[in-house]
Structure 1
Amino acid sequence: MEKGMKILWMMAAAMVTAAVPPAVLAADVAPAAAFVTLGTGGGPVIRRERAEPANAVVVGDSVYLFDVGAGTERQMVAAGLSMHKVKAVFVSHHHIDHNADLGQILASRWMFNSYQPLPVIGPPGTARMVADLVAAARTVELAPIGGGPGGKPPLASTVKAADLDAEMDEPAEIYRDANLRVLAVTNTHYHFPPGSPQAAFSRSYAFRIETPGRVYVFTGDTGPSKNVERLARGADVLVSEVINLDSMVGILKRAPDLKPAMLPSMIRHMEQNHLTPVEIGKLATAAGVKEVVLTHLAPGEDGERDLSGYVRGIQPAFMGPVRIASDLQRF
C-alpha cells in the first residue's frame, strides 16, 4: 500500500521523539488513556445540548482528535484539553459536521505559537482541503500580530496532510507514535453508484486506536459493515454512531418540504448509511467487544429526555455494557 507507507513515513519524519510501538510499553507504566466525546450530536444541526461530532483520545497529556465538527476547540477548552498538546487529527469523512473546525484548529495553533507540523489524516481530498484552508487564511497571516521580535513561520509549515487510500477493506496501520497506533478501514456511509462523480471522491473510514492499556474502535458514520466488524475484533470499547430510526421518520413526516413519495428512499438511505441499535448489537457481538458507547445521536434533539430509542434493540444480540455518551464524557 504505497500511499499508506507514505503516510507512515511522513508521520515518522514529523515526530520529535523516537516512536516506541505500543505493544512494547507495559500497560502498568504507560500513561492513562481516555476517549473523550467532545461532541455527541448527529448531523450538521447546531444544538444547545450536544455539540457537533468531535472526539479526543488522550494518552497522558497528549491529545489526538477524531473528527472536528463545529465548536471542537471550545469543547476542548471545556474538557480541559490544550491545543498545544494535539499530536494528530483524523477525519472520518468530509461531511461538514465532521470537519468544520479544521481550519480554526490549524489557525489557532499557529496563532498561539504551536509550530510543530501537525499530521492531518483523512479521506481522499484531505490534503487539498488543508491546502485550501491554509490559502484561505493567508490574509490572517499577513495581518499584524503584536509582540515579540521576529516573524512567525508560514501556516503551511505547521501542518502535514495526507490522504488515506480510497479502498481499505482490511485494517491497515495509518499512524504510530510512542503513545498509540491507529488503524483504519473504509466503511459503508456512502452508497453512490459506481462510476458516478460522487463515488470517485466520497469515502468514509472507521478507526481503531490501540493504546497500551485499552483499545478503542470509532465507527465514524457508517451503515452495517464487515470491514468495521473486522476492525473492531476484540476491542475494549466500541464507540459507535447510532440512529433512532422511528424518531427520524417522525421528524421527516413533519418536514413541510418533504413529499410523501420521498419518504421510503429517505428511510432506506438512513438504514444503509447509519447504524440502528439492532445493527450495533450485531456488530458488537460479532466483533467480541467488551463495551459499547453510543455517540453521534440522530436526531439527538435539544430537550430529548427519553433516550431508550437509541438502545432498544441492542439486546439481546449484545449483553455487555452500553452507555449513551454526553458531551465531555470520558471512557
Structure 2
Amino acid sequence: MRRVSGWLVVLGVVAVIGAGVWLARGAAALRLMARVYDQALAQDPLQSLPDGLHVGLCGTGSPMADPARAGPCTVVVAGRRMFVVDSGPGSVRNLTLMNLPPARAEAAFLTHFHSDHIGDLGELMLQHWAGGAAGAPLPVYGPTGVDQVVGGFMAAYGLDRGYRIAHHGPKVVPPPGFGGAPHAFPMNKTAVDVTLIDDADLKVVAFPVDHGPVDPAVGYLFAYKGRRVVVSGDTAPSARLEAEARGADLLVHEGLQPRLVEMQRQAALRHGRTNLAAILHDILSYHTTPEQAAGIAERDHVRMLVFTHVIPPLPIKALEGPFLGDAPKIYHGPIRVGHDGDFFSLPPGGTEIRQTSRLLLR
C-alpha cells in the first residue's frame, strides 16, 4: 500500500506540473508571437534579398480546387523592384505569408483574363493601396481588355473604398491611390513583342502565346543583369514562347497531364457528370503537357524548368512522378513541380539558381 501511495503522490506531482505547463502555454505562445511580429515588421523584405533576379510562386494551382495551391500567381523581384504576374484566388494571402507585401508591388502583369488568373486582382489592388498608403493606383499591364477588367474590380470595390477612407482617414488610405491604372497593349497571335519596361538593368517583354480561343494571351520575359526568366501564362505548345525561352535561366511553365485528366473524365462519365466530362475533354486543346514543356526546355537549353498551373491537383507528393510522366527523360536539366511558396534566386553574373521556400506555413 505504501508503494501504491508513493506512485499516487508521484502521479499527483506530475499532474500538477503538467497542468502548470499547460496553463503557461498561452503566455509562451504570446512571447513567441511578439518576437515573430517584431522580426517580420522590423526588416524590409526586399532590402534583405541579395541583388539578383528572384522568382516566387504565390499560386501554382488552376480552376480545380486544391487546398495546397492558390490560383496562378508568380512574383518577380528584380533587385529591389517587385512585380506580380497574374493574381489567382488566394494568391494575395500567399504573398503576405511569403513576406512579400502587396504594398511593395511596382506593377501587375496579366497574361489573360480567365477568372482563375484575375480572381484576386481586386485584393491585390486593395492591399497595395491600404497596406502602403499608396498615392497612386497600382499599374496593371495586360493585353487589350485590361481596362474592362480593372474597371470592373474598381467598381466592385467602390463601396469598400468609401468605408476605408471614412474609417482610417485620407492620410492612411489616400483616395488617389485606390484601385489600378490599366496599361493596355495590342496583342494577337502574330503580333510583335511589346517591351513594357526597358531600364538600365531591367527589361520586361510581353509576347503572344497560343491559348485559343482565348485571344489575346501572353507570356512575359524578365531580364535583369544578365539573368533571364520566362513566365509562360496559359498556352498550348507555342513557337513564340520557345523563341523567347531560348537560353533562359528559368522557365516557369504551365502543365497539364492528359493521363491524369482522363482518369477524372472517365470518373465523371461513370457518374453521369457529362458537363464536367465535356470540360475535361476541352481543356486538353489549349494547355501544354509536361513532356511538351520538357521538350521546349531541352531544345532551348533552359537551365531550370518549373511547373505551375498544375492540372489536375496532386493531393499527395507521390503523384508528382505520374504528373511529370516522361518529362525527366526528355529534359536533362533540373525540373520541379512547383509548390506555393517556392522561391528561386538568380544572382547576377553567373548561372547559379538557389531554391528555397518563403511560405511560412509550409
Same fold (TM over 0.5): yes
Aligned counterpart, 1:188: 210
The answer to whether the aligner puts 1:329 opposite 2:342 as a matched pair is yes
Higher helix share: 2
Q: Secondary structure at the match of 1:47?
A: coil
The answer to whether the aligner puts 1:247 opposite 2:260 as a matched pair is yes
Q: Which has the larger radius of gyration?
A: 2
Partner deviation per Cα, 1:240-268 (whole Å, 9 max, x = no partner): 111111111101111134449x66x954x
- Distance across 2 between alignment mates of 1:319 and 1:151: 50
Quick one: which of 88, 105, 108 aligns to 1:89? Answer: 108
CA contact (8 A) 1:32 1:213 kept: no
1:166 to partner: Cα distance: 2.6
- Distance across 2 between alignment mates of 1:167 and 1:104: 28
1:205 to partner: Cα distance: 0.9
Aligned counterpart, 1:50: 69
Partner deviation per Cα, 1:278-320 (whole Å, 9 max, x = no partner): 2112211232212111111111233353211232222443211
Quick one: which amino acid aligns to residue 180 of structure 2?
Answer: V
Quick one: which of 135, 138, 144 aligns to 1:124? Answer: 144
Aligned counterpart, 2:287: 274
Aligned counterpart, 1:19: none
Aligned counterpart, 2:356: none
- Distance across 1 between alignment mates of 2:173 and 2:121: 24
1:110 to partner: Cα distance: 2.2
1:91 to partner: Cα distance: 0.8
Aligned counterpart, 1:172: 194
Q: Secondary structure at the match of 1:307?
A: helix
Quick one: which of 285, 294, 300 aligns to 1:287? Answer: 300
TM normalised by structure 1 equals: 0.79
- Distance across 2 between alignment mates of 1:149 and 1:115: 10
Alignment of structure 1 residues 308-319 onto 2, 5 Å: 308-319=321-332
Query: Where does the alignment leave 5 or more consecutive residues of structure 2 unmatched?
Result: 1-49, 345-362
Alignment of structure 1 residues 1-331 onto 2, 5 Å: 31-41=51-61, 43-112=62-131, 113-143=133-163, 144-147=166-169, 152-155=174-177, 159-167=180-188, 169=190, 170-177=192-199, 180-190=202-212, 192=213, 202-255=215-268, 256-259=271-274, 266-267=280-281, 269-331=282-344
1:116 to partner: Cα distance: 3.2
RMSD: 2.5
Q: Secondary structure at the match of 2:167?
A: coil
Quick one: which amino acid aligns to residue 250 of structure 1?
Answer: M
> How has the CA–CA distance of structure 1 residues 185 and 146 changed in structure 2, closer, same or farther, with 3 Å as cutoff?
closer
CA contact (8 A) 1:171 1:230 kept: no
Quick one: which amino acid aligns to residue 186 of structure 1?
Answer: P
Aligned counterpart, 1:6: none
Give the length in aligned residue pairs: 289
Quick one: which amino acid aligns to residue 211 of structure 2?
Answer: H
Aligned counterpart, 1:27: none
Q: Secondary structure at the match of 1:130?
A: helix
- Distance across 2 between alignment mates of 1:217 and 1:323: 15
Query: Where does the alignment leave 5 or more consecutive residues of structure 1 unmatched?
Result: 1-29, 193-198
> How has the CA–CA distance of structure 1 residues 314 and 151 changed in structure 2, closer, same or farther, with 3 Å as cutoff?
closer
* Identity percentage of aligned residues: 26
- Distance across 1 between alignment mates of 2:63 and 2:168: 36
CA contact (8 A) 1:88 1:120 kept: yes
TM normalised by structure 2 equals: 0.73
Q: Secondary structure at the match of 1:207?
A: strand
- Distance across 2 between alignment mates of 1:176 and 1:104: 28
Quick one: which amino acid aligns to residue 162 of structure 1?
Answer: H
CA contact (8 A) 1:141 1:154 kept: no
The structure with higher relative contact order (CA 8 Å, sep 6+) is 1
CA contact (8 A) 1:223 1:272 kept: yes
Q: Secondary structure at the match of 1:289?
A: coil
1:148 to partner: Cα distance: 6.8
- Distance across 1 between alignment mates of 2:98 and 2:195: 28
> How has the CA–CA distance of structure 1 residues 153 and 234 changed in structure 2, closer, same or farther, with 3 Å as cutoff?
same
CA contact (8 A) 1:53 1:67 kept: yes
- Distance across 1 between alignment mates of 2:175 and 2:303: 46
Quick one: which amino acid aligns to residue 82 of structure 1?
Answer: P
Quick one: which amino acid aligns to residue 276 of structure 1?
Answer: T
